[in-house]
Chains A and B, each alone.
Chain A
């Protein structure tokens, strides 16, 4: 039987990485993800892995670049202002198609902000963040167990698609403690990393580069990675639904907010309001199809985030006007309560958002 422990979310990320065979971690301290840095220092010390507390976030992400180029499973973690600093390296890593895992335990911004939880780095994570046309596979876990499971899986996905994967949590999720089942990670088959820098012994030299000066070469490279993104969009979308069958109203939320919304759904159901929840787990690729499908049958959607409204744009793009999309958000470390969300729904109900249920234009 798998070992059960009580662990904080940051520690669960660390253990997930260790179980997935990550032996190279490079990071720089920032609250609220410091437990993860410390966890990696301790565990990699025990296991004879490599832990470097770098001189900056810039250095950390570029050490990941080097380690990944050398063929290792490498990880870095940070929180919002630190992730901003890493964007340069993230763009290069995505451009060079190197696999790695980047953890963002989001805190409130903009600027130095404070150390309370937030989801305001959504745009940065799923729309690019650094320069150029690229995508990160972005995962929004909602429990300590999911942080563990998805971090482990993130290494596999990174290797499979040769793409950086971001675990997008928040300070709440990173620091809260929950029971964690340390499941054994089943290593799935992957092609050998024939592209890695290991010394040109008995083969021609391997070169990793993003500079492409020959006319048309860079465009062809961009087309190639965009095709890869299309493949990922087809193969990887994951989400959770709660009481969506026959629902009148749908909440859409991810991560910590989704857990709070789940409670709201049960509270609303008690009051006879048929609410349901869609929780995107992969934030990129986004579960647009399920949201689109459900928008044909509901009166309206309410998106809830710890931001001024970022993911709501993806919901609107998925819905394309099939039903109204409303937003409720808290910022600057504010965490919505289930009651606040219920009240927001009641306000919308009172404002005559009843509408007709059937809108069959597609």
Chain B
């Protein structure tokens, strides 16, 4: 019998620890498929975040290192500068990238570091139990915004992709979602392109992935997926935000 579908070779057979309906598993798998398709498993080095995805090194057959919270792009910079011929990617959540690590990501992008960042934005701190993230929507309830996020008190949802796009070192930035099959297919294409930008030594590339955290959003997996379509993309519209790869 001909096998037409299977686990990416760059991934292990360890079952994911993620909650039901969480988007991390999908994003992981897309990265695994892209690594396989590009044939770069033996020269890819990953840097997971602090947070729910911290142990993603259990799920990949590639070299990986932890980084302190938010410092992921700096650690990746150190690796890439030692091994310019390797493919280095970071994987960061909204707390890691948009709060504690804002400095590191902006400067890595601005230096045009030849790294690829997968930025998973689910608008909430998952690992620590559902606190507000910088990306939390206005009026969105979290454990630290029990009455809903109030812009007068805590500011506005931060648009990281748009922010990073204005740095000259960034080459390709796209926002995608993993809430339904059509979006997942587009997400994979974007992740592949982001890796290709690095392979062609052009500069910094990032894919922002809108993802669902049903547990901390207080929704069923299905409701959380619908919420991305109906609510989240109004603040964070999908699509290519910057693409200088053809220039």
Contacts and interface: CB of A to CB of B under 8 A. Distances in A.
B180 interface: no
A66 B75 contact: yes
A206 interface: yes
Given A55-B104, A63-B75, A201-B42, A50 B66 contact: no
Contacts of B83: 70, 197-199
Interface residues of A, number: 41
Contact of A56 (B66, B78, B103): B103
A223 to B, nearest CB: 20
Nearest to A55: B107
Contacts of A200: 41-42, 61-63
B78 A199 contact: no
A64 B43 CA distance: 20
Given A197-B65, A200-B63, A54 B86 contact: no
Nearest to A74: B78
A197 B45 contact: yes
Nearest to A71: B82
B71 interface: yes
A64 B57 contact: no
Interface size class of B (residues with CB under 8 A): 35 or more
Given A65-B78, A69-B75, A74-B78, A58 B64 contact: no
A152 B236 CA distance: 51
Given A58-B103, A67-B82, A207 B42 contact: no
A88 B78 contact: no
A210 B107 contact: no
A207 B111 CA distance: 27
A207 B75 contact: no
Contact of B74 (A66, A96, A204): A66
B43 A24 contact: no
Given A55-B103, A70-B79, A199-B86, A62 B74 contact: yes
Interface string B106-122: 11000100000000000
Most chain A beta-carbon contacts within 10 A, residue among B55, B68, B81, B82: B82
A197 B67 contact: no
A282 interface: no
Contact of B66 (A54, A59, A64, A210): A210
B66 A208 contact: yes
A52 interface: yes
Interface of B: 41-45, 47, 54-55, 57, 60-68, 71, 74-83, 86, 103-104, 106-107, 111
Interface of A: 24, 26, 50, 52, 54-56, 58-60, 62-72, 74, 88-89, 92, 96, 197-202, 204-211, 213
16 contacts: A24-B78, A24-B82, A59-B107, A62-B104, A63-B74, A63-B78, A65-B68, A65-B71, A66-B65, A66-B80, A67-B78, A68-B78, A70-B82, A200-B62, A200-B63, A205-B60
